[in-house]
Structure 1
């Protein structure tokens, strides 16, 4: 059976428009209430910026997955046991007949502090994956096939995210691919390495300028980390689960 990508291109553009629109609406609401947060925080406290992408992923599940799959997206039902910590909160969980089918993280970064945020996101992504797969190995989810672990990131396109970055490593040289790489290139490299090291079933980074609130414009940065690769990989896993239980 062919997998259904649910017309993801249009829905992705709509998700990008919603991302920027929700951020601006949150900022205006903060200003009008007289309680504006500092800097970019005024645009993120509403916590709904990636909901369009969440809806896209839900469409993929419904189009390809078992009819009665349990889909969890409310905070109270999104924790999984960890190995190095008691629990980890995800953005989306899919469970079917007692098996964990998928766990997905949705992240975003808007300037200006790309350096600190990139390092924090990198450490978080690696730590989450290592904890998740160690817990899986130790039977935290029972005896079952490997679930899908997904990581999807949207980064603002701006001069700061697109410009080459210099690094200092006085004792040993950094890997060649990082030399002069912009933060967007570094996110792409991060996602490639997360996949190559099998830390995530699929990891994707897309970028978009703030002006995309009007157009939904977004860009991929490599075939391995493209949104189409993420959606295809996820849809294939969901479809394979449905076939396994037929």
Structure 2
């Protein structure tokens, strides 16, 4: 990956925390004190810099700025529901080129991680089924999933889970566990497994998993090479080349 793109990506990850903290301060100043970190996660702007970096890759590949949609404009037809919003859409020449989802977890890792897995599977399944039924024409849209997790001590410790009489997938099991409280691998590892399997099962064409601290001087960590932003960007470029050959 080009150094300037990687630098922009790292800065965008750090900007996520700057904006998130700023949103929390603004809401607290207005007296809107929400439970937990909700005050910081309801402002909707914390992913703007990351969205811009992803969008720039598509622009560099020849898709005009007006073909890239964000926020309320980034809506596609569904199969199990009439429409669904994504974080980034690329629509060019009447063709849905790509859809990208940006997600994060900064706290309550157990519940939130399970919710993220269900959301990611459902979101992709809805769009891909609509594609199968001819909603988007003959060109299969590229789907991307970028997942940011707070790099805190809790993320690196073994975790627990609900009890079950059935066998849990061994990849999720902590080989050093001594009791049910640390029976499962860390939340960070669980997130990595989730992101990798989203691609393995062809629910997404590429996934990027990032660990990052609020400290602007700290390292932006990409724990797995196959889930790094370099691979994510390369996958976009490959699809962009294919789509241009089909629609131009």
TM-score (norm: length of structure 1): 0.90
How far apart are residue 5 of structure 1 and its match? 5.2
CA contact (8 A) 1:167 1:179 kept: no
How far apart are residue 88 of structure 1 and its match? 1.1
Equivalence map 1:167-206=2 (5 Å): 167-180=161-174, 181-206=185-210
CA contact (8 A) 1:79 1:90 kept: yes
What is the distance in 2 between the residues matched to 1:237 and 1:23?
A: 32
Cα RMSD, aligned residues only = 1.8
By relative contact order (CA 8 Å, sep 6+), the higher-ranking structure is: 1
SS in 2 for 1:173: coil
What is the distance in 1 between the residues matched to 2:227 and 2:25?
A: 33
For structure 1, the residue ranges without an aligned partner over 5 or more in a row are none
Residue 167 of structure 2 corresponds to residue 159 of structure 1: no
CA contact (8 A) 1:6 1:60 kept: no
Q: Deviations over 1:30-72 (max 9, x none)?
A: 1221222222112112111111110101111111134476111
Q: Deviations over 1:82-110 (max 9, x none)?
A: 11111111111111111110011111110
Q: 1:11 aligns with which of 8, 11, 17?
A: 8
Q: 1:230 aligns with which of 207, 229, 232?
A: 232
For structure 2, the residue ranges without an aligned partner over 5 or more in a row are 175-184
Q: Deviations over 1:161-209 (max 9, x none)?
A: 1111133443211011101211111111011111111000111211101
Structure 1 residues 234-243 or 42-51, which shifts more? 234-243
Equivalence map 1:62-101=2 (5 Å): 62-67=59-64, 70-75=67-72, 77-101=73-97
Paired residues, number: 238
TM-score (norm: length of structure 2): 0.90
Structure 1 residues 227-236 or 51-60, which shifts more? 227-236
Q: 2:211 aligns with which of 197, 202, 207?
A: 207
Q: Find the counterpart in structure 2 of residue 130 from structure 1.
A: 125
How far apart are residue 244 of structure 1 and its match? 3.9
CA contact (8 A) 1:65 1:239 kept: no
What is the distance in 2 between the residues matched to 1:80 and 1:18?
A: 28
CA contact (8 A) 1:13 1:215 kept: no
What is the distance in 2 between the residues matched to 1:20 and 1:68?
A: 26
